Amino acid sequence: MLAKRIIPCLDVKDGRTVKGVNFVDLRDAGDPVELAWNYSNQGADELVFLDITATVERRKTMVELVKAVARQINIPFTIGGGINEIADADALLIAGADKISINSAAVRNPKLIDELAAAFGVQFVVIAVDTRSIGDKNVVHLNGGRLPTERQTLEWILEAESRGAGEILLTSMDHDGTKGGFDNGLLKIVNDAVHIPVIASGGAGKVEHFVDVFEKTNVDAALAASVFHYGEILIPDLKRTLQGNKIEVRI
């Protein structure tokens, strides 16, 4: 059985790591370079860096900051924000990315997934999906969660997989930052429907939430931000608890 992965996420705005609740009310969470170094040393399995205002501000990802982070870590590094074409992905690969994460650009131009998978390989392409419940449907949102679309979440994820997505990073906006637990119902539906790894995101507040998400949904990885940034959960402690619950992790 493959080991489950624990992934800290650096949401970056104006060169600083930030964190909010339900994608709003952002507050400072520290220097991304220092945090990256700390997580790499703590035993994180991967690191995700999301330039959360690049799409809204219509600019490219902060490549120099990405390079500075990449120099501090020796674990797989996923970068997202402002990637709209092959050249953007290529620049991030050179800067130190092992994978890239696309969200809004993929929904607006689904062929971009095909192009990236053909150019760099399926394993390089992570599709990030920000979803929120509207009525009885889960709906994909763009521009850092600001813009609802007509796309239903599962339908979009299945299309992304068929086009060459190598992994799905699924963030429940309803749960994000609430520390009330992951959206296990949605995550199980998605994980059961796809044949590629799913990363759970949104809602981690305590160690038990990680145990729950792996036991109830069997996702491949769990991502969190503020509980790691503010030292509420230490990755070595988390992994020991998971191991004690017979969940396979890399120690």
Q: Which two tokens stand for residue 127?
A: 């599709």
Instruction: Please indicate, yes or no, whether the overall pTM of this predicted structure exceeds 0.85.
Output: yes
Give me the domains of the chain, ranges plus CATH numbers. Answer: 5-244 (3.20.20.70)
- What do you get for the CA distance between the two ends of the chain, in Å? 15
Degrees to nearest 5, angle at CA 18 with 14 and 22: 125
Model pLDDT, residue 63: 84
pLDDT in tens, 12-63: 887 788 765 654 556 666 789 999 999 999 999 999 998 866 656 656 667 8
pLDDT in tens, 93-112: 999 999 999 999 999 999 99
Q: Which two tokens stand for residue 18?
A: 């930030």
Spatial distance between the Cα atoms of 176 and 131, rounded to a whole number of angstroms:
10
Which of 7, 68, 73, 14 has the alpha carbon at shortest distance from 40? 73
Query: Do residues 122 and 166 touch, judged by C-beta distance below 8 A?
Result: yes
Which of 18, 24, 7, 43 has the alpha carbon at shortest distance from 200? 7
Furthest-apart CA pair in the chain: how many Å? 46
Per-residue model confidence as pLDDT tens for the chain (251 residues): 689 999 999 988 877 887 656 545 566 667 899 999 999 999 999 999 988 666 566 566 678 888 999 999 999 999 998 899 999 999 999 999 999 999 999 999 999 999 999 999 999 999 999 999 999 999 999 987 789 999 999 999 999 999 999 999 999 999 988 899 999 999 999 999 999 999 999 999 999 999 999 999 999 999 999 899 889 999 999 999 999 999 999 99
Spatial distance between the Cα atoms of 64 and 5, rounded to a whole number of angstroms:
27
Strands 221-224 and 5-13: parallel
Which of 165, 147, 143, 4 has the alpha carbon at shortest distance from 82? 143
Spatial distance between the Cα atoms of 204 and 179, rounded to a whole number of angstroms:
5
Helical packing angle, 153-163 and 111-120, nearest 10°? 40
Model pLDDT, residue 125: 98
Model pLDDT, residue 23: 47
- Can you name the residues that pair with 102 across neighbouring β-strands? 127
Spatial distance between the Cα atoms of 201 and 10, rounded to a whole number of angstroms:
12
Spatial distance between the Cα atoms of 117 and 250, rounded to a whole number of angstroms:
28
Run of H or E including 12:
strand 5-13
Q: Which two tokens stand for residue 238?
A: 């988390």
List the catalytic residues: 11, 130
Query: Do residues 15 and 35 touch, judged by C-beta distance below 8 A?
Result: no
